[in-house]
Amino acid sequence: MKLHGLCPDSGTMVGMLQTCALCSDYARGSCVYGQIIKHGLDSECHVANALIDMFTKCDALTAAKSLFDKCGFEKSTLSWNIIMNGYLLHGQPVEAIATFSQMKVENFQPNTVTFVNILRAIAELSALRVGMSVHASLIRFGVCSHTSVGNSLVDMYAKCGMIDLSERCFIEIRNKVMVSWNTLLSAYAAHGLGSSAVSLFLSMQENELKPDSVSFLSVLSACRHAGLVEEGKQMFKEMEERHKFKAEVEHYACMVDILGKAGLFGEAVDMVRNMRVKASVGVWGALLNSSRMHCNLWLSNAALCQLVKLEPLNPSHYCQDGRLVEVNNVTRIKNVPACSWIQV
């Protein structure tokens, strides 16, 4: 990357790094890094922060950590937040929690972003004791009612198996937004609390909140886990007729699973045939699992045939039939049933 002999300012460099981060362009970001070193701008906190952020988003976490650990710039709370988020982006919640602990040791003041990050890490680990400790800190800081923090608490407690505490934290959120409602809906779905999810969904409407596609997916998923067939049908109908949402493939997968598990295979097949979008692995998988559950060999064979087309090398489709064989070092399908009722 050429800068035509000009000495760039730090603002220009930060802008370029942000662009590289958005595009995950490590090669270009490395060129910018070289120019930053050349012009001695790496000691400026906002430039170092932009560099760390760029590295984490370009799958160069080791470089980000190395730069963060350098003593060449004065860290800020933002610096700690960026590296914590980097660990979370790369599926390392333990390291994110360790960073939070070190941040406290070095007497940096956490802010709401810090707490959202740490609660996300705790949720991924289902680390209830750590979560309760952080919650106590939040109470001392007086930020439990902050919308983003409250949402994170709801999610964290749900993933730690404490749905009653999720509900309590939801109530305490002062300014609830759609994400707040959807987070609790998702929590109910994960715990199979279909009736609670439906009640919350109706409460949303009573509060004149317009549900979005995530809301409908969560409530349908809750009905799916709880076996609430009529409620699921009603929610799906409301989504399309009252709220004018076009069902996405995930919504169809939930409905096919709801109908299939109830043994309503005629309705499930009609649902698949009349979908506005192409059926996914999730849709066919739901039909396969439910037809196997009810020993419907004909339908399970038809669903398996479609799954084989989409994922021919996925062994989970053959857990009962064992039809994957290897010929001349190439995995082949043996005795795949004919697609007897639908060709897509």
pLDDT tens digits along 144-202: 989 999 999 999 999 999 999 999 999 999 999 999 999 999 999 999 999 999 999 99
Tell me, what's the pLDDT at 40? Answer: 80
Task: Label residue 44 by pLDDT band (50, 70, 90).
Answer: confident
- Round to whole Å and give the CA distance between 29 and 193: 47
Tell me, what's the pLDDT at 7? Answer: 52
Q: Which helix (H) or strand (E) holds 327?
A: strand 324-327
> Does pLDDT of 71 surpass 60?
yes
Side chain identity at residue 73, one-letter code: F
- Round to whole Å and give the CA distance between 50 and 324: 49
Helices (H), the chain: 10-23, 26-38, 45-57, 61-69, 77-89, 93-105, 112-125, 128-141, 147-159, 163-172, 178-190, 194-206, 213-226, 229-237, 249-261, 265-273, 281-293, 297-310
Q: Which two tokens stand for residue 208?
A: 């004149």
- Round to whole Å and give the CA distance between 117 and 190: 21
Helix, strand or coil, per DSSP, at residue 140 = helix
**Do 254 and 287 meet the contact criterion of CB atoms below 8 Å apart?**
no
**CA-closest candidate to residue 267, choices 275, 259, 279:** 259
Task: Label residue 135 by pLDDT band (50, 70, 90).
Answer: very high
Tell me, what's the pLDDT at 10? Answer: 78
Please give the model's pTM, rounded to 2 decimal places.
0.82
Q: Which residues contact 164 (CB under 8 A, 6 or more apart)?
A: none
Q: For residue range 261-292, what is the model confidence (pLDDT) as tens digits?
A: 999 999 999 999 999 999 999 999 999 999 99
Tell me, what's the pLDDT at 33? Answer: 84
